[in-house]
Amino acid sequence: MFNAKFNCAILSPNPEATQHCHAALATFDSIGEIDCVPQYPAMEAVLRMLRLNAVDLLLIDCEDLARALELIEVVRAHDKNMEIVAICPEEVKTLSTLLRAGVHDYLPLGASAEAYREILATSVDRLHSKPRQPVSGGDLFAFLPSKPGSGASTIVAHTALRASQTSKKRVVLIDYDRDAPVQAFLNCLRPDHFLQEALINSHKMDADIWGQLISQRGELDILPADADGEMGVDIQQTRDVLGFVRRAYDLVCVDLPGPMDPAAIEVLTEAKRVYLVCTQELASVHIAMRKADRLQRLGLSKEIRVVLNRYVSSDPMTQDRIADVVGLPVELTIPNSYALATASAEKGAHVDPRTPLGKSYTKLAQILLNDRPEIARKGNRFIESIFQPFVRREERAV
């Protein structure tokens, strides 16, 4: 007995053929979502649809044979294992051309839905016989501020933008701070749609809905949040949205709020790595230590690193000391260029990549894209007696 569900797409400008194909596919228990496209889309749109909807079986109308062959070539390059069935007239020239393109199954125009079902049964059986490939998921990185004002939103905004500019990978930035969302402001957007709508539609999310929700800044896709939206915490909605974006993008950057509510914890659990953003001020370091302890209790200790913002080398709270107090390695220090960061935010402008601040954003983007190796912790610990307010409870008990 087969339990797998396979998603299908029908590309056909012929309404009757589409109707018959849909009716035939709907009779199979193993067929999941069926996406109907009433025209030949652009190549980029085809790949986006196949990726976002995780299509296993593609039915393509060959009314325009040349265009159909171009699409078949693109699809084959995208996924060699995808089942492709042609919808075409029973003409020797057409069928031989399709055979040379690697398409062996076809649905004759004018046939009934029942005839279509008999033919499609072979393709569906073939899907069952193939080993299911694991759904490839993009890397998700969560940015968590130690406390409000730590600069996490600014860092993730510029880092995600640099990642989209310096690589060919698909990058998305999601603003999950529903109390004080700033990504629309930082990226100079005037969005009509927000995170809340994505969560509401998470159970039926597809390429069309997603395309209507996202905003863009250059090559970067952005899903902003709305501070006015009334929204309760629904873990399943969060899981559905994260699953969708990880399937659709190579790199997912999430801007989290300070409070660690259930939805934020779900994002943190799904993240490949969590960046805890703090500054050198004592309150920020103290809260970072408390949050690090909680994250470690959630089993995320190997995936948390500190990003030290507004760093001043002459400050007595050095990088090593903060790493020792918080109990986590410092991935990167970002220089104290508050005026430059504020000015760029107010204008919605890029930070010049030639400046020390711009170079730090570029370096962090490269770390996200290239998966920097694990950072080794130094053996020497900071002398706790010098910094008693930050000594861990269990160490004070010793």
Q: Could you tell me the CATH number of the domain that includes residue 98?
A: 3.40.50.2300
Residue 372 within a domain? yes
pLDDT at 218: 92
| Same domain, yes or no: 22 and 150 | no
Cβ atoms of residues 256 and 264 within 8 Å: yes
Cβ atoms of residues 130 and 256 within 8 Å: no
The pTM for the full model equals 0.69
Last residue of one domain, picked from the residues 103, 129, 155 = 129
Residue 78 within a domain? yes
| Same domain, yes or no: 105 and 196 | no
| Same domain, yes or no: 32 and 144 | no
DSSP 204: G
pLDDT at 212: 92
pLDDT at 395: 46
Last residue of one domain, picked from the residues 104, 129, 154 = 129
Q: Is 348 left (phi over 0), alpha (psi -120 to 50) or beta?
A: left
| Same domain, yes or no: 356 and 311 | yes
Q: How many domains does the chain have?
A: 2
| Same domain, yes or no: 92 and 207 | no
Question: How far is Cα 57 from Cα 84, in angstroms, rounded to an integer?
Answer: 6
pLDDT at 207: 82
Q: Which residues contact 367 (CB under 8 A, 6 or more apart)?
A: 331, 332
- What does the pLDDT profile of the chain (398 residues) look like in tens digits? 345 678 899 999 999 899 989 999 999 988 988 888 888 888 877 877 777 777 889 999 999 999 999 999 988 887 888 899 999 999 999 999 999 999 999 999 888 878 898 999 999 998 888 765 545 578 999 999 999 999 999 999 999 999 999 888 899 999 998 888 999 999 989 999 999 999 999 988 888 899 899 999 999 999 999 986 555 667 889 989 998 998 889 999 999 999 888 889 999 988 999 999 999 999 999 999 999 999 888 877 668 999 999 999 999 999 999 999 999 999 999 999 877 777 676 666 678 888 999 999 999 999 999 855 444 444 444 434 444 444 444 444 44
Q: What angle do CA 292, 256, 291 make, to 5 degrees?
A: 15
| Same domain, yes or no: 51 and 196 | no
Residue 1 within a domain? no
Residue 206 corresponds to which tokens in the numbers above?
Answer: 């597809």
Q: Which residues contact 102 (CB under 8 A, 6 or more apart)?
A: 72, 76, 84
| Same domain, yes or no: 354 and 278 | yes
| Same domain, yes or no: 244 and 290 | yes
Residue 376 within a domain? yes
| Same domain, yes or no: 123 and 228 | no
Residue 273 within a domain? yes
Query: What's the order of all strands across the beta sheet hosting 304-311?
Result: 215-217, 220-223, 171-175, 251-255, 139-145, 273-278, 304-311, 330-335
pLDDT at 233: 65
Q: What is the CATH number of the domain that holds 310?
A: 3.40.50.300
| Same domain, yes or no: 143 and 124 | no
Cβ atoms of residues 171 and 251 within 8 Å: yes
Query: What's the order of all strands across the beta sheet hosting 83-88?
Result: 31-37, 6-11, 55-61, 83-88, 105-108
pLDDT at 2: 42
Among candidate residues 116, 152, 155, the one with its CA nearest the CA of residue 28: 116
Q: Which residues contact 106 (CB under 8 A, 6 or more apart)?
A: 85, 86, 87, 88, 90, 95, 98, 119
Residue 43 corresponds to which tokens in the numbers above?
Answer: 């190549």
Residue 281 within a domain? yes
Residue 197 within a domain? yes
| Same domain, yes or no: 43 and 176 | no
| Same domain, yes or no: 380 and 270 | yes
Residue 95 within a domain? yes
Last residue of one domain, picked from the residues 110, 129, 148 = 129
* Domain span holding position 219: 139-397
